[in-house]
Structure 1
Amino acid sequence: MSEHSHTNRLIHQTSPYLRQHAHNPVDWYPWGAEALEKAHCEGKPILLSIGYSACHWCHVMAHESFEDEATAQVMNKLFINIKVDREERPDLDKIYQTAFHMLHQRSGGWPLTLFLTHDDQIPFVGGTYFPKTPRYGMPAFVEILQRVNHHYHQHAPELRQQNRALLEALRAEVATPSAAADTVLTAAPLQVGYQQLIRSFDPVHGGFGGAPKFPHPVNLERLLRHWAGSIQRGEPDPQAETAVSLTLRKMALGGIYDHLGGGFCRYSVDAEWQIPHFEKMLYDNGPLLALYSQIGQLTQEPLFHTVAAETGDWTVREMQAPDGGYYATLDADSEGKEGTFYLWTPDQVRALLNSTEEYLAFAVCYGLEQPPNFENHAWHLRVTAEASELARRLSVPPVQVAEWLRSARQRLFEARSQRIWPGRDEKILTAWNGLMIRGMAIAGRHLDRADLVASAERALDFIRAQLWKNGRLLAVYKDGQSRLNAYLDDYAFLIDGILELLQCRWRDGDLDFALTLAEVLLDQFEDREAGGFYFTTSDHEALIQRPKPVHDDALPSGNGVAAQVLLKLGHLTGRMAYLEAAERTLRWAWPALQQIPTACNSLLMALEDYLDPVQIIVLRGSEAAALEAWRDRCARSYAPHRLTLAIPTDARVPTGLLAERRVSAAPVTAYLCSGLKCLPPITTLADLDAELARSGATIP
C-alpha cells in the first residue's frame, strides 16, 4: 500500500520541482495539451503556478496551501491547476513574468501565481506568494481563489477587453522598431551605460542598489572590461576599479560566499552581503567563477585567486554528475528550514577545534565573538577581521594565523558534511552548463588548473552525447531522459563556453560543433527582417508571445551573448553571415541601448566588440611544448578582446579561412588578425611579444 494518500500527474515528470508536488492533493497537471484541452472543454480558468526546486517561498506556499486538503479541494473545484518548473520552461516564465509586470506594474518573482483564461491562456490577474491565512496585508489564498473565480464568470466581457489589450502589449514588446540601415552605431551607449552603473554603485558595501542585493555578474563583467580598457589606453579609471574590485572583495568576505565549501548563494537579504538567501545556483556561480579568475589575473590579489579556486573545487565536488554534466541547484532549505546546513554556534565550533588559540583566531575572523546574526541564536560565517589584522591583534606571525584558519575551516567543513544536506536539483540544463563550462575554462586558464579544464571538457562531452539529437539541442536531462527543444540561451551560452574551452587547448571537433550550433542559431532563431533572435525556435509550441529578450536579468541576455559569439566566429572563420547577423542584432537592439543601456550590458559588450573587433590569434606548430608556451603567453593574461587558438600541425580544422593558416618551417607560427586586417605571419616569440605590446592587446 502506498504511503501517499494522493498522487497526481506530476509523478510522471522528470523535473525534481514538479515531482515535489506529485503527492499534493491538488490535481496538478504539467503544462501541455491535456491540461489546456481540459480547461477549454470545461470552461474553467487555469491556475498557473511557476517555481523551481531551490525556491524558499515556493516551498512555503506548497506546505501551507498545496499540501492542505481544504485548499486543494477549492483549487480542484474551480480551476485547472498547472505547475511549471521555470528552469525547464524559461519560455513560459519569460512570457508570464512579462505579462504579470504589464498587469500589475511591478516585477514578479517566484512562486508566480497567475490565473489564465480557459481558451487562450492569457492571464487576467495574479500574484506571487499567497499565504494560507490572512497576513502580510494579503487575504487568505482560498478567499483569493473564490474571488477570482467569481470575477471570471461574472465579468467575462471586461476581462476579454483587458486580455486583448494585454495581448497587443505583449506583441508590441517584441515588435520594437530597429535602427535604420543608415544609422551609425557608435560608442555613446557604452559611456552612458557605464555612468548609469556607477551612479547605482554602493561605494560602502559594493554592489548595486540596496537590499536585497544581487551579484549581477554581467554588470561586473562590463565594469571589469571598462577598467581593463582604461588601463590599456594608459588612463586607468579609478571609479571602475573601485566599483568592480570593492564589490567582488565585499562579496568574497561576506556571508553570500560559503567560506567552508566555496561557491556563492543567490543573493543577500541585506545591503552588506552578510546574510544570504542560501540557495546556490549554477547560473550564478559560472559567471562569478569567471569574474574572480579574471580579476585575480588582472590584479594578482590572492583573495580573488582563492575564491576562484574554491568555487571551481565546489563545482567539481558537489555539482558535477558522475557522467559529466553539471547539476542545476542546491536548495536553500534543509531539515525544513532555510540555512540550517550552514549555521553554527560558538560551542559547536569550540568543540571541533584543536586549541583555544585556533578557536580565538577563527571566532574573531568569522564573527563568532559578535552577537548572533541569524534567528534562534545562530551564527552564519562572514569575515569580520582578515588574517593580516588578526596577526596584529593576536601578536602572532601571519603564517600561524593562516594555518589556524585553514585547519579550522577544514574541521568545520568535515563536520558540516555529516549534517543533513540541502536538496540538490539534479537536472542538467544545457544553458546553465554552457555558463559553467565557460567559467571553468576561464578559471582553468588563469589559475593554471588543468583539472578545471578537464571538468569543462567532461560537461561538454556529456551535452554532445545526451543533449544533441538529430542536429538540434535539447534543453534538459534528468534520469536518463533528454527532453524539450532548446532555447536561445542554450545555443548562445554553449557556443560561448566552447570558445573559451578552445582557448585552453585545441581538440578536433569542438570548433566544428560550435559552428554547427551557430548555423542552427541563424536558421531557427533569427528574425531576419527586424534583426535579433527569438528565445524559441521557429517550430516551437505556439504560445501567447514569442519572446525576444533584449535586457539582462538573472542571466545575460541571449541576444547579447549570441551577438558576441557570432562576431568572434565571424572574424575567426571569415564567414560574413555571422558578422551580418550580429550587426542586425545590434541594430534591432539600438533603441534599447540608447534608452536604458545599463539593463543591456551583454549587448553593450557585443557593441564594444563590433566597434573594436576582437583580436584573433591562431598559433600553428608541430612542437607541443613550444606551441603551449606561445598559447600561454597569449591566453593567460586577462585580455577580453582577444581569442587565441593553438592548433597542432596534425589537427583537423574546418575548411575556410582558418584552414589557410598553416604551419611554416618555424616551430610555431602566429597569425594575428583584428577585424578584417591580418598581419604577416610571426615566427618568433620576441616578435609576438612586440606586436602584442604595440597593439595594446596586453595590459602592462
Structure 2
Amino acid sequence: MPPATDDKVLASWNGLMIGAMARAGRILKDERYLKAAERAHAFVVNKLWDPASSTLSHRWREGHVDGSQQSESYLYFLRGSRVLYEATLNPSYLSLAVTLADRAIALFYDKLNGGFFDGEDRDDLVFRLKDDYDSATPTPSSVARFEYGVLSEITGEGSYREVAEKSLLSVSDTIRQSPTQLAESLKAVSFMVGKPARVVIAGAKQREEFLKVAWTGLRHNLLVVGTEGPVSKFTRQLEEVKPGQTTAYYCVGQTCRLPETNPEVLAEWLREDRGSEKSPETEVEIPSAPTPE
C-alpha cells in the first residue's frame, strides 16, 4: 500500500510559490520557472477563484473546493499575482492583484487597529485572531504591509498606503522590541521609508529585452511596471517616443530620466547608485505625457 499523499492545493501556498518562481525565472534567466508560475496561477484562478462573487476559496482537492475564506489565501495570492505582473507586464495579473487587495480589505481588514484578521467575520466566532509572528511562512498582515505599500506605488491609490501604514503602526512596538519576530514587516518598513524607483516600459516590441535588463542585479525597492491596466495616471502618460519603438523610463516619484530606447543604457542606469547625485541634464520632471522632439 503506498503511503498517504498530501495532494491538496492551497491558494495561499501557491501564491507564495508563484511569486518565488516568477522571481527566480527572471533573476536566473530560466523560462521554465516563469512558465511554471503562470501555469500554477492559471490553475488557482480556474479552480479556486469565483469572478462572479470575487471570492477566493482556500483549498482544492480532487475537484472539491472548500469555500473557506482566509486572509492568507487572498494576501499570498495577491503577492504571487503582483510579482507575476512585474515579471511579465501582463495587465491581467495586476488587475487581479488589485481586486484581491480590495476584497481582502472588505473581508479581513481591522479598520480600527490596522492589520488583517486570519478569517472572515462570522456570527459563530467568539473573537477573530490576528497572527503577528513570522515563522516558516509570513503572517498575512506582514505580507499585507508590504504588498499594499507596493500597490500604492504602482496604482497611485493612496488608500493602499494608508492600509500599509496603519498596519505597520499596529505592530510598531513589537518591531522595535523584537524585530526578528516580524522579519517580513521589516521589508515593508524599508520600502515605505525609502524612495522606491520604477522602471516603466512602454510598448511591446522590445519588452522582453527591457524586462531582462530590469530584473538583472540588485532589486531593492525597484518596481517594474507597464503602462496598461490599473497603473497610476502618471504612469499611463508615459509613451513610446515613436510608434513601435519600445521605451523605458526610470522614475522616482514623478521625476523620470529622459526616455530611453536602448536596453543597454537602462542597464547602465540600474548599475548606478540611486542615492548618488544625478546631473540635471539626465532628469526631467514630467507633468504630462512626454512629447518626442
Per the normalisation by structure 1, the TM-score is: 0.37
Asked if 1:678 is matched to 2:261, the reply is: no
> How far is 1:512 from its partner?
0.5
One-letter amino acid of the structure 1 residue matched with residue 242 of structure 2: A
Find the counterpart in structure 1 of residue 289 from structure 2: none
Task: Select which of 654, 674, 677 maps to 2:230.
Answer: 654
Q: Could you list the runs of 5+ residues in structure 2 that have no partner in the other structure?
A: 276-293
Asked if 1:442 is matched to 2:23, the reply is: yes
One-letter amino acid of the structure 1 residue matched with residue 39 of structure 2: R
Q: Could you list the runs of 5+ residues in structure 1 that have no partner in the other structure?
A: 1-334, 336-419
Find the counterpart in structure 2 of residue 566 from structure 1: 148
Q: Distance in 1 between matches of 2:196 and 2:237?
A: 19
Asked if 1:490 is matched to 2:73, the reply is: yes
> How far is 1:515 from its partner?
0.5
Per the normalisation by structure 2, the TM-score is: 0.84
Find the counterpart in structure 1 of residue 178 from structure 2: 596
Q: Distance in 1 between matches of 2:160 and 2:251?
A: 17
> How far is 1:521 from its partner?
1.5
Find the counterpart in structure 2 of residue 669 from structure 1: 247
Find the counterpart in structure 2 of residue 546 from structure 1: 128
Find the counterpart in structure 1 of residue 120 from structure 2: 537
One-letter amino acid of the structure 2 residue matched with residue 496 of structure 1: R
**Which of the pair has the greater relative contact order for Cα pairs under 8 Å at 6+ separation?**
2
Equivalent residues of 2:78, 2:101 under 8 A apart = yes
Find the counterpart in structure 2 of residue 513 from structure 1: 96
> How far is 1:646 from its partner?
5.0
> How far is 1:682 from its partner?
2.0
Task: Select which of 23, 28, 35 maps to 1:454.
Answer: 35
One-letter amino acid of the structure 2 residue matched with residue 452 of structure 1: Y
Flag the 1:544–1:613 CA change in 2: closer, same or farther, 3 A: farther
Flag the 1:673–1:548 CA change in 2: closer, same or farther, 3 A: farther
Equivalent residues of 1:433, 1:494 under 8 A apart = yes
> How far is 1:542 from its partner?
3.2
What is the DSSP-based 3-state SS (H/G/I as helix, E as strand, rest coil) of the residue aligned with 1:672?
A: strand
Q: Distance in 2 between matches of 1:655 and 1:646?
A: 8
Flag the 1:606–1:656 CA change in 2: closer, same or farther, 3 A: closer
Flag the 1:653–1:460 CA change in 2: closer, same or farther, 3 A: same
> How far is 1:544 from its partner?
3.4
Q: Distance in 1 between matches of 2:213 and 2:73?
A: 31
Instruction: Tell me which structure has the larger Cα radius of gyration.
Output: 1
Q: Distance in 1 between matches of 2:239 and 2:266?
A: 17
> How far is 1:637 from its partner?
2.4
What is the DSSP-based 3-state SS (H/G/I as helix, E as strand, rest coil) of the residue aligned with 2:209?
A: helix
The alignment yields a C-alpha RMSD, in angstroms, of 2.2
Find the counterpart in structure 1 of residue 274 from structure 2: 696
Find the counterpart in structure 2 of residue 425 from structure 1: 6
- The aligned length equals 270
Query: For residues 168-179 of structure 1, what are the structure 2 equivalents within 5 Å?
Result: none
Equivalent residues of 1:669, 1:681 under 8 A apart = no
What is the DSSP-based 3-state SS (H/G/I as helix, E as strand, rest coil) of the residue aligned with 1:509?
A: helix
What is the DSSP-based 3-state SS (H/G/I as helix, E as strand, rest coil) of the residue aligned with 1:602?
A: helix
Flag the 1:655–1:607 CA change in 2: closer, same or farther, 3 A: closer
Equivalent residues of 2:251, 2:257 under 8 A apart = no
Q: Distance in 1 between matches of 2:178 and 2:135?
A: 14
Q: Distance in 1 between matches of 2:26 and 2:123?
A: 40
Q: Distance in 1 between matches of 2:237 and 2:68?
A: 36
Cα shift readout 1:133-156 (whole Å, capped 9, x = no counterpart):
xxxxxxxxxxxxxxxxxxxxxxxx
What is the DSSP-based 3-state SS (H/G/I as helix, E as strand, rest coil) of the residue aligned with 1:485?
A: coil
> Identity over the aligned pairs, expressed in percent?
26
Asked if 1:609 is matched to 2:205, the reply is: no
> How far is 1:693 from its partner?
3.3
Q: Distance in 1 between matches of 2:46 and 2:123?
A: 25
Task: Select which of 60, 63, 66 maps to 1:480.
Answer: 63
